Structure formats: structure tokens, C-alpha cells
Amino acid sequence: LRAELEGAGAEVVIAACDAADREALAGVLSGLPGGFVLSGVVHAAGVLDDGLLTSLTRDRVEPVLRAKVDAAWNLHELTAGMNLSALVFFSSAAGVLGNAGQSSYAAANGFLDALAAHRRARGLPAVSIAWGFWEERSELTKHLSADDLARAHAVPMPTSQALDLFDAALAADEAMVLAAPLDPRSWSDADNPPAVLRDLVRPRIRRAAEAADASGSASALEHRLAAVDRSEWDQVVRELVRNHIAAVLRHASAESVDTSRTFQEIGFDSLTAVELRNRISAATGVRLPATAVFDYPTPRALADHLLAEVRGKDIGAAAATPAGAALVADDPIVIVGMSCRYPGGITSPEALWDLVRSGGDAISALPTDRGWDLDGLYDPDPDRPGRSYARSGGFVYDAAEFDAAFFGISPREAAAMDPQQRLLLETSWEAFERAGIPATSVKGERIGVFTGVMHHDYLTRLTTTPDGVEGYLGTGAAAGVASGRVAYTFGLEGPAVTVDTACSSSLVALHLAIQALRLGECSLALAGGVTVMSTPTVFVEFSRQRGLASDGKCKAFAGAADGTGFAEGIGMLLVERLSDARRNGHPVLAVVRGS
């Protein structure tokens, strides 16, 4: 290479350096020959350590990230002020399209793509080229077989074409470009094509799902079994397993698959095992573990397990399930309305986003309007019984405020109602309002309500029943009534479910709402969670466990409107299938990809 460059008239200096070593790289950059000014940099390093995500360790991930992430960041900072005309990162299509077993490599290249965007946003030159597979092998690709390339849907790219794409990438006014030949026909047989390609190809699994939707919720296997005598089921299932094995191993025919040999003997590794599991699960509707080929080590054993799973079903009834109850897996779920109340005076999603974006602080002192003995509650000694060493947290200070008359509720019933139920009513109304759906127009509609409620302490301090509220306390304090009250108030006739899975309650509620929509159990769904602490008990309990931050600020955060880190709040989403949202003219605020 040196001779070729010098023959073209270039002066070449080769310096060995670990670009991830900041001091070593700084030495190279400062040691350029006199008279030369650095004007362009190409970062083309890469390290692989492929494996399933569950097998990766810190020692395996760090070298992969170091070559890409640390070196690129060093170049970004050390070239500041050098007036570069180009900084080119060699990224990979794995970060855009994904590639089985390359999670660490994909993450490292995703960083390069993001760094290029960051630089351009600051007015600095940068382009990240997400390369596909080069026909000319490198140290990273020399071991790949034809089957490996076919499994990764890689189309070899001649070096001359790659160099042309390199020039085109420099000329393009983009932070990141994908330089990879794509063959949509190879993806058409894939179980799960990359998200960016799903509108370009119609994979076989999607066609199968569409066929199942057209005739009911039964899987393709159940329909096939319903059409033959039970004495033929064994043959049908074994044929299905053999066909998928042949597809994964890229065999020309399923006839070459010996069902008596172990999966390991016929060429399966951990990656192809997961691919086979995904294919068969999608085709049969039977949920298989990632270890299926180890649990059932031969194709025959796996087929026997599948047959045992489906024998217990009423196949004829499954095949005749009405289409209205069919599982719709191909129609994304969208959020058409949002509402919330959070600490820090947050009363809208926009205000919440502004707080996050600005790095604001919503932690404040314990509330003074809940009858808590604040002076007697605090003690800095974490071992002091009945006391809390934290005296701040995230609170919805206006949780006690409620316009009972607006919802047709008497003052006595309102006083007996847990503030969490009151907030659910208010925010549910706002979710409809923000979606452009009059809350008074949904009566009688198949709309579900799925709420997560994890605190149940509103009435725990009562020793006697106050005058006038007897008869309201049972419904006012019952968490199970929370979703039902919303449904009753608005006249909603879909499922009404309250769940308590502790800090994951709101996420589980959203999961159940999405399931109900896809199963056709409701046309719209209100989903979310609420937390209001009526007593300081949780502070006392966690003080004994030393589970609190003394300043009330969590050092780790898992976001949900469910009391994570003792932060109160409520968040409600009005979710719908995308096709319905478009038909109804609802504004789509966000897409929820899965549950």
C-alpha cells in the first residue's frame, strides 16, 4: 500500500498507535512532519467478539467498544480546533439492520453514527459510513462461509463499488449513510426483517400472519392439522420441523434432514438455534425457550414436543375462531392521547419533557397537608424505629384537589375516595380531550381501562368511620374499583382491569392494554398507573432497610408512573391500533413497538 501511494506522488508516514490510548494518539497527531497540516481523518478500526447477548461479559464487550467508541471520541476531542475538512467513521450495517450475535459490535457502530450526528449538529465535519459486506475479505470477515453470508443476507460488494460509495458518502450532506447492496428477495424469507426494511419487503411470516387473521386466530399449523385426520398429525409436524431446519441451514431440500441425529450433529450453534426457535414459534404459535434445541436435542424430539402441545387444543374450534377476535400482530399500537400529573408541578406531557430536557429537579419537602407528624417522623439515625432519615421526595402536592361536582360525585363520596381514584378520573378525561375525542361521546364504546395501582393506604389511619361516609369507604379504598370507576363514569364497555405488580404496575397495565387491542377485545384502551402516598409508612419501612437516599434523589431510575423511587404521579395513555387511529382521524403522538 505504501509503495502504491508513493507511486501516486504521496508522501507516506506510518505510525503505530492504539487510537483508544488518548496520550498515544495525541503524540501521533502532534508529531506530524513539518509543513503538513492535518485536514482529514478516516477512522477504520474494528474488533469483533460475537455471541448471544446472554453470553457477553464486560471483558468481552469492552474491547469491541474500545476500538470504536474510545478511539472515535479521542479523535473527536483531539482534533478540535484543527479545522478538519473531513472526519470519516467506518461504521457497519450491523448497527442499522442488525446481525445475529453482534449486539456489542452493533452498539459500537451505533455510537459512531450518533457521534457523526453530534458533530454535524455543532457545525463540525463528520460522516459515518455504515458498510455492508466487502467482497475482498478482511481480518474480520475471512472466516465467514457462504452459509454465514446467506444467513446474514449479505450481498458481497466489489472493492471498486465500495470506493465509489466512499466518494459518494463524502459528497453527501448527511451525518450517516448506509453503503450496502440489499437484496429484498433474501429478506422476504426472513422471520423478522430489520425495522427499516419492513415496508419494503413482505416476509413469509407476515403473509402467514395475514392468512391466519383472515380466517381466525388459529396458527397456520392449527389450520393445517384441522384439515387432516389426527393419524396424520405426527407426519405434518415432523415435516414442518424439517422444513424450518432446512431453511435455517440453507439446505436445498428438507429431505437431507435426518430427524434422528442431534441438532449439534447436523450443524446447529447457539445463533442458528435461536433462529430455528423463532421460526417454529411463529409458525406454530407454541412458545419455545431459546434452549429448545438443547431441551429437545433431535428434530424428532422437538416435533414430539410440538405435537404434545397442540394435541391438547380443540383444533377444529381454533381454526373456526371468528376473525373479530384474531390476534393482530402486524398492526402497530399508537398513542393518540396522553395526560399526566407528576412532582414538580408537572400537569402535561409537554411540561414533563421540558423538565427532563432542562435537567430540572422535582424533589421537594414532605407534604404538609396529609396529617403527617413531620417533626416526629424525621431522625437522621437510620436505625431509629418509626422514623425516616429522608425528609424529601417526589410529591404531587395538589393530589387533594378534586372537582367532585364535575364528575357528578357528592362531597361525602369524594372524601371517601382514594386520591388515586380522583386523579385517574381527571387524567382520563384529559387523555380523551388531548386526543380530540369528546369524553362525553364515548359512552357505550368498547373502550378498555387498564390501570396500575400499587399503594393502598388511604384509609389505613381510620379508627372510626366519619359521619356520612359509611357506604362509600369500600369502593373508595378498593384498588380493584379504580379502573371500574373510570369505566362507569365514562360509560366504557371494554375490559376494566386494575393490576398491582409493584413498581412495574403501569408497564404491565400498558402490556395488557396492547394485548386486548390486538385480540380485538376493545377498540381503544386507557392505560397507565397512579401512585399517591397517603401515609409515610413506606418511608419508615425503607429507612429500616436503608433503601432511601437521604436527599430524596434516586441514584438509579426506572421510569414509570408507578412510584419508582418513591415519586408520586400518574400517567394515562389512550392507545389504539394504527389502522383504527388513521380511520378515526386521531393524531398519532407516538408508536409503541411491542409491550
Q: d(Cα 424, Cα 55) in Å, to the nearest integer?
A: 43
Q: How many residues does the chain have?
A: 595
Q: d(Cα 232, Cα 468) in Å, to the nearest integer?
A: 70
Per-residue model confidence (pLDDT) at position 395: 92
pLDDT at residue 323 greater than cutoff 50: no
In contact, 212 and 282? CB cutoff 8 Å: no
Per-residue model confidence (pLDDT) at position 441: 84
| C-alpha torsion sign, points 57, 62, 67, 69 | positive
Grid coordinates representing 534?
Answer: 397517603
Residue-wise pLDDT tens digits, 490-522: 999 899 999 999 888 999 999 999 999 988 888
Residue-wise pLDDT tens digits, 130-156: 888 777 776 666 666 665 555 556 677
Residue-wise pLDDT tens digits, 2-17: 898 889 988 888 888 8
pLDDT at residue 121 greater than cutoff 70: yes
Q: d(Cα 550, Cα 543) in Å, to the nearest integer?
A: 9
Question: What is the residue whose three cell numbers read 431510575?
Answer: 557
> Considering only CA atoms, which of 455, 453, 454, 462 is closest in space to residue 371?
462
Tell me if residue 148 falls in helix, strand or coil: helix
Q: What percent of the chain has pLDDT over 90?
A: 27
Residue-wise pLDDT tens digits, 166-217: 899 888 889 999 888 776 656 554 455 666 666 665 544 344 334 333 333 3
Give burial (CB, 10 Å; 0-12/13-18/19+) of 385.
exposed
In contact, 399 and 423? CB cutoff 8 Å: yes
Per-residue model confidence (pLDDT) at position 558: 40
| Residue 548 half-sphere exposure toward CB, CA atoms < 13 A | 27
Residue-wise pLDDT tens digits, 547-573: 888 888 776 544 433 333 467 888 888
CB-based contacts of 398, cutoff 8 Å, min separation 6 = 341
Task: Report in angstroms the alpha-carbon separations of 263 from 242, 243, 266, 298, 310.
Answer: 11, 14, 5, 6, 22
The mean pLDDT value of the chain amounts to 81
| DSSP character string of 177-208 | EEE----HHHHTT-SS--GGGTTT---HHHHH
Residue-wise pLDDT tens digits, 523-545: 899 999 999 999 999 899 989 98
Grid coordinates representing 479?
Answer: 384498588
Q: d(Cα 18, Cα 577) in Å, to the nearest integer?
A: 51
pLDDT at residue 219 greater than cutoff 90: no
In contact, 67 and 112? CB cutoff 8 Å: no
Residue-wise pLDDT tens digits, 418-474: 999 999 999 999 999 999 888 888 888 889 999 999 888 888 877 677 777 777 887
